[in-house]
Amino acid sequence: MNHPTVSRRGFLSGVGALGLASALSACATSTPAAPAATGSGSSKALLLKSRETSDKSRKAMQALLDEFVKANPQYKPTLNTMEAAAFQQQIRADLTLSTPPDVLTWFAGEIASNFAKQGLLLDATSAFPAQGYSDQFAKLSADASGKKIFIPTNYYWWGMFYRTSQFEKWGVSEPKTWDEFVALCKTLQGKGVSPLALPLADAAWLTASWFDYLNLRINGATFHRALLAGQESYTDPRVAKVLDVWREVLPYLDPAGKGLSFQEGSAKWQQGKDAMFLCGPFLADSMPDDVKADISFFQFPIVDPAVPVAEEAPLDGFIASARSADPDGALAFLKYAATPAAQELYLKISQNTVIPANSQAKSPYSTPLLEKGRAMVAAAADVTQFFNRDSNDDQLNALTTALVKFIDKPGDAAGILAQWQDDSAKARGN
Least confident segment among 24-28, 79-83, 362-366: 24-28
User: How far separated are the first and last CA of the chain, in Å rounded?
Assistant: 30
Residue 220 is inside which H or E element, if any? helix 206-228
Angle, CA 234 vertex, CA 233 and CA 238 arms, to 5° = 95
- The domain containing residue 419 runs over which residues? 159-312+392-428
Give pLDDT, residue 68.
Answer: 97
* Residue 186 sits in the same domain as residue 287: yes
% of the chain at pLDDT higher than 90: 81
In this structure, the answer to whether residues 263 and 322 fall within a common structural domain is no
- Is residue 24, in this structure, part of any structural domain at all? yes
Same domain for 285 and 145, yes or no, is: no
Instruction: Give the pLDDT of residue 394.
Output: 85
DSSP single-letter state for residue 304:
-
- Would you say residue 1 lies in a domain? no
Mean pLDDT, the chain, as a whole number? 89
Pair (204, 283) in one structural domain: yes
> What is the structure's pLDDT at 9?
54
Question: Rounded to the nearest 5°, which phi and psi values hold at 241?
Answer: -65, -35
Any domain includes 190: yes
DSSP state of 383: E
**13 pLDDT exceeds 70?**
no
| Reported confidence tier of residue 20, pLDDT bands at 50, 70, 90 | very low
Query: How far out from the chain centre does Cα 307 lie?
Result: 22
Contacts of 381 (CB under 8 A, 6+ apart): 221, 308, 309, 310
Which parts of 136-222 are beta strand (E)? 151-155, 159-163, 194-197
Residues 144 and 225 in one domain: no
C-alpha 213/C-alpha 202 separation (Å) is 21
Q: Is 27 exposed, middle or buried (0-12, 13-18, 19+ CB in 10 A)?
A: exposed
**For the chain, percent helix, then strand, then coil, each to nearest 5?**
45, 15, 40
The residues, any chain, with a CB within 8 Å of residue 84's CB and separated by 6 or more, are 9, 10, 13, 14, 19, 20, 21, 22, 51, 53
Domain count, the chain: 2
Write down the pTM of the prediction: 0.86
In a domain, 192, yes or no: yes
Claim to verify: residue 133 and residue 88 sit in the same structural domain: yes
Q: Which of 315, 375, 18 is nearest to 155 (CA)?
A: 315
Residue 251, in any domain of the structure: yes
Q: How far apart are CA 402 and CA 421, in angstroms?
A: 9
User: Within this chain, do residues 265 and 404 fall inside the same structural domain, yes or no?
Assistant: yes
- Higher-confidence residue of 109 and 143: namely 143
Q: What does the pLDDT look like over 66-101, one tens digit per residue? A: 999 999 999 999 999 999 878 978 999 999 999 999
Question: Distance between CA 326 and CA 190 in Å, rounded?
Answer: 64
Q: Are residues 355 and 410 in the same domain?
A: no
Query: How far is it, in rounded angstroms, from Cα 49 to Cα 81?
Result: 6
Domain co-membership, 305 together with 213: yes
Amino acid found at 344 = E
Same domain, 102 and 117: yes
Claim to verify: residue 166 and residue 283 sit in the same structural domain: yes
What is the separation of C-alpha 144 from the centre of its chain, rounded to a whole number of angstroms? 21
Summarised one tens digit per residue, pLDDT across range 247-280 is 999 999 999 999 999 999 999 999 999 999 999 9
Residues 423 and 400 in one domain: yes
**Cα(323)–Cα(144) distance, rounded to whole angstroms?**
20
Cα separation, 243 vs 403, in Å, equals: 9
Positive or negative: CA dihedral 160, 203, 107, 390: positive
Q: Compute the average pLDDT of residues 386-408.
A: 92
**Residue 3: inside a domain:** no
Alpha helices per DSSP H over 229-322: 237-247, 262-270, 289-292
Q: Is 101 left (phi over 0), alpha (psi -120 to 50) or beta?
A: beta
User: Is residue 279 a part of any domain in this protein?
Assistant: yes
Could you tell me the CATH number of the domain that includes residue 89?
A: 3.40.190.10
Per-residue confidence (pLDDT) for residue 29, from 0 to 100: 29
319 belongs to a structural domain: yes
d(CA 173, CA 188): 11
